[in-house]
Amino acid sequence: VPGGFATPADLVAAAADRQPRAVGRLISLVEAASPWLRDVARLLAPLTGRAEVIGITGAPGVGKSTSTSALIGAYRAAGRRVGVLAVDPSSPFTGGALLGDRIRMTEHAADPDVYIRSLASRGHLGGLSWATPQALRVLDAAGFDVVLIETVGVGQAEVEIASLADTTLVLLAPGMGDGVQAAKAGILEIADVLVVNKADRPGADDTYRDLATMVRRVGGDGPRPRRAAAGGPDLDEEPDRWTPRVVRTVAAERTGVGDVVAAIAAHRLWQRANGELERRRVRRAADEIERIAVAALRERMGDVRGGRLLDALAAAVAAGRTDPWTAADDLLGAMTQTQ
Ligand SMILES: Nc1nc2c(ncn2[C@@H]2O[C@H](COP(=O)(O)OP(=O)(O)O)[C@@H](O)[C@H]2O)c(=O)[nH]1
Ligand SMILES: [Mg+2]
């Protein structure tokens, strides 16, 4: 086993014992999509399911890393251990932005109950959207009560990563795109808490008002009226919709961070009360299984007769000798045979 541990069990035990070196080693195995991961994942599984996962997203420069650092401070003050994954789907080979993130979080670098990691991925097996949930498992098993996942942008990979979180914060700043743009980007669909950061800047109140108005318009505000007649079915089975909270912060001065923590806690209570937390976690597990299965399938596809079958079928389809559906059937047939 890499990293000077005798067995995968030793490595996982050391991580569960909260040794940062073992935690780092495990995340490196994830990044490299190491063959050891299968053993490691089996050992990690019984240790997982406790961490509260908070996603933080928004455009570059909006203040995600500053807010993450402020949140670390708030959760540490409450005695909770905090893990951070900084993920940039647009630069799988760790760009300068992530380096900057680490610098903004250095105040927590010496705290043994804080673990900060910029995630990179070699790019195969679906890249960061594949690696991030596995890294999350490591931090969960290593006893971090709260895991903050900072992601950049509003692309598809970012939405996938946001789906990992129990609660997703979307950060906006005045002048960086008004409410209408936010709606276009599908932000309201993923946001559980909308944070107007840089509230010290002009225009912050307008942005806040826009968002608050939009959230009221879209969201089913307040409890759903009971429609069940006496003796009828209990219509409360249908979950109420969560209305995203809108909060103002000046992350650079730690202002409003308590409101963010309170909004996250309120969302969690709501999720627990109506079963949404459990539903999200099952959905997340389904995503994970699917990603691993698809990656395995893709790998196997390349393996079938050294990839030559795919080449041959592609040539046949391009030449009109067969159709792509028939070719796909042939490929899948060959893959199951070689298992
Ligand atoms: N004026 C102001 N600047 C802020 C605030 N929060 C962060 N910044 C600054 O905005 C810049 C980008 O912050 P950063 O956290 O790296 O943003 P990220 O790219 O979203 O992670 C940095 O120079 C921060 O100091 C704030 O509340 N007010
Ligand atoms: Mg950042």
Sheet holding 193-196, edge to edge: 114-119, 82-87, 146-151, 52-57, 167-172, 193-196, 245-248
Residues 6+ apart with CB under 8 A from 226: 235, 236
- Quick check: CB of 64 below 6 Å from ligand 1? yes
Does residue 224 carry a pLDDT above 60?
no
The residue whose two tokens read 């129990």 is 166
Percentage of the chain lying above the pLDDT 70 cut: 79
**What average pLDDT does the chain have?**
83
Q: In terms of pLDDT, which residue wins out, 158 or 112? A: 112
Closest atom of ligand 1 to CA, residue 171: 20
Q: Where are the alpha helices (DSSP H) in 227-318?
A: 257-274, 276-303, 308-318
Half-sphere exposure of 322 (CA within 13 A, CB side): 13
Closest CA to 170 of 51, 55, 60, 88: 55
Write down the residue that tokens 């698809």 correspond to. 294
Give the distance (Å) from ligand 1 centre to CA of residue 222: 34
| Substitution candidate for ligand 1 out of 66, 107, 257 with most atoms within 8 A of CB | 66
Residue nearest to atom 24 of ligand 1 (CA): 63
Atom of ligand 1 nearest to the CA of 150: 21
Distance 66 CA to ligand 1 centre (A): 6
How far are the Cα atoms of 47, 239, 266, 304, 316 from residue 307, in angstroms, in the given order? 39, 48, 52, 5, 15
Q: Residue 89 has what pLDDT?
A: 65
| Tens of pLDDT, residues 140-150 | 999 999 999 99
192 pLDDT more than 80: yes
Q: Are strands 82-87 and 52-57 parallel, antiparallel or unpaired?
A: unpaired
**How do residues 62-113 score in pLDDT, each as one tens digit?**
999 999 999 999 999 999 999 999 887 665 454 444 555 555 667 777 888 9
- Whole-angstrom Cα distance, residue 65 to residue 35? 32
Cβ of 57 closer than 6 Å to ligand 1, yes or no, is no
Query: Residues lining ligand 2 (ion), CB within 5 A?
Result: 64-65, 101
